[in-house]
Amino acid sequence: MKTAAAIVTNRGGRTCHAAIIARELGVPAVVGTGDATSTIKSGEVVTVSCAEGDSGRVYRGEVGFHVDRSDVGDLARPHTKIMINLGNPDLAFKTSFLPNDGVGLARMEFIISESIRAHPLALLHPEKVSDPQVRAELAELTRNYPMVSTSSSSACPRDWHHRRGVLARPVVVRMSDFKSNEYASLLGGSDFEPTENNPMIGFRGASRYAHPAYEEGFALECQAMLRVRNEMASRTWSS
């Protein structure tokens, strides 16, 4: 989705996953069209517009446009606190310049999948990874970092540094909520994950955090959060 110019789906509404992630990434998205995948031909040029009211539109061909810019610098701040939904760590610094009262939701998943890229347990126990090539990739990935352990503050994700622009205000963090198949897709993950018929309602979330099969991995997340709060922020976070 990060590489898409726009997103058009057959199904979904304003609160569907595609719409939520598109808003976080700043990508135009028109969802719930019903027949877009059969109406739009592969390779066809279309223009996707989300600037014409409540309903998005998809036009054939490349449609011209203009940009209206408004100066909002003199607008009074509302009494209601406005907090940012910050799913993509790459946008943290840019987003911090928007008027805001902190981060209402920051998610761990993008940091783990995009920057860390390895399964937490594979970092802790590379000797349990069965594929020699994957073990070599893990060694290369971690060669500039101290040995990972559940008692080491080196577990801090690098991308939390990008969030320094908003750390002076409250930040609410949701810890990792991958499904087991998503964890398995991380480097070394297949050696630590079960095969589930329906991962959506399977081994995930809070039930995973305290489970003996993953508690060491969750401890790394907690250690990373502790380092961010104690060393990078001057205000206490909510989590």
- Annotated catalytic sites, by residue? 17
Please state, in angstroms and as integers, the Cα–Cα distance from residue 52 to each residue in 19, 26, 173, 176, following that order: 16, 16, 34, 36
Which pair of structure tokens corresponds to residue 231?
A: 């060393």
Please state, in angstroms and as integers, the Cα–Cα distance from residue 30 to each residue in 11, 18, 59, 82, following that order: 10, 9, 11, 25
Rounded distance, CA 129 to CA 199, Å?
A: 22
Name the nearest CA neighbour of 58 among 78, 37, 77, 88.
37
C-alpha radius of gyration, the chain, whole number: 21
Q: Dump strand ranges (E) for the chain.
A: 7-8, 29-30, 46-49, 57-60, 84-86, 103-107, 171-174
CA 55 to chain centre: 26
Task: Give the strand order in the sheet containing 103-107.
Answer: 84-86, 103-107, 171-174
Which pair of structure tokens corresponds to residue 75?
A: 């607008």
Contact 166, 103 (CB under 8 A): yes
